[in-house]
Structure 1
């Protein structure tokens, strides 16, 4: 078991911002953006679109709350959130390929394509703000 990785004030601020964003996004999955999020669920997924949206909303809220309040496990939450962002990425690609509008702003191929480039940013944000990058580098040099 390695020691707790320290993070800077700016990393903590960005971690809390990401946590807030995740809780808000999760809440919006369950309420006012529910139909828009269904546009991101690929047609080939063998589950109901509404079930996927509800479940992913619950996961987003849990990850956001974990990022905000479970300091000792923030690295684990950073990796879990990065994995979550990777797992939902096929939905973003499907939304682009299927030309499905959502959220008012995702109403063109250009807007949907630009959005795809933000997924790596979210992954990096999760890993950096939680100290997961630093933890991984530290573990790598200890081996």
Structure 2
């Protein structure tokens, strides 16, 4: 996209950055639920949860820094958040398949089904917000 962002892309970017900022803070402040759904094969789960929180916060901040200040930062943040969403997918699958309780309660497939189905949307959302891809929006022509 050349010139200024479209209003749609800007709204997508702000909303996604807000979601990831809140999630990142939650990973750091209240890691228990995230630890519960982390697959057993993940090494050093406490450190991984902490680092994923930092990654979410860094991605959120990266999406909001104007490109004129740090060229390529939004692009890098978009790729980073897309990869993050891909990497946490096994935890979401683990949560659903093993019906892991968080805070003493389990969730139904009315929660898990859409969550799993929408994970690719979060990957796309990060890429569109970072300006990595433009589909379905066309770049503005000069």
Are 2:24 and 2:57, in contact at CA under 8 Å, matched by a contact in 1? Answer: yes
Normalising by structure 1, what TM-score? 0.79
Normalising by structure 2, what TM-score? 0.80
Provide the C-alpha distance between the structure 2 equivalents of 1:6 and 1:103, rounded to a whole number of angstroms.
44
Please show how residues 34-49 of structure 1 align to structure 2 within 5 Å: 34-47=31-44, 49=45
Equivalent of 2:48 in 45, 52, 71: 52
How far did 1:70 drift? 4.7
State the partner residue of 1:92.
92
Distance 1:106 1:5, change over 3 A: farther
Matched position secondary structure for 2:37: coil
State the partner residue of 2:102.
102
How far did 1:106 drift? 5.6
State how many pairs are aligned.
132
Provide the C-alpha distance between the structure 2 equivalents of 1:16 and 1:44, rounded to a whole number of angstroms.
34
State the partner residue of 1:69.
65
Question: Root-mean-square deviation (CA), in Å?
Answer: 2.5
Are 2:24 and 2:55, in contact at CA under 8 Å, matched by a contact in 1? Answer: yes
Would you say 1:9 and 2:10 are equivalent positions? no
Are 2:99 and 2:106, in contact at CA under 8 Å, matched by a contact in 1? Answer: no
Ranges in structure 2 where 5+ consecutive residues have no aligned partner: 136-142
Are 1:75 and 1:132, in contact at CA under 8 Å, matched by a contact in 2? Answer: yes
Query: Could you give the per-residue CA deviations for residues 114-136 of structure 1, whole angstroms, max 9, x where no partner exists?
Result: 2111211111111112221139x
State the partner residue of 1:132.
132
Are 2:78 and 2:127, in contact at CA under 8 Å, matched by a contact in 1? Answer: yes
- Greater helix share, structure number: 1
Distance 1:5 1:76, change over 3 A: farther
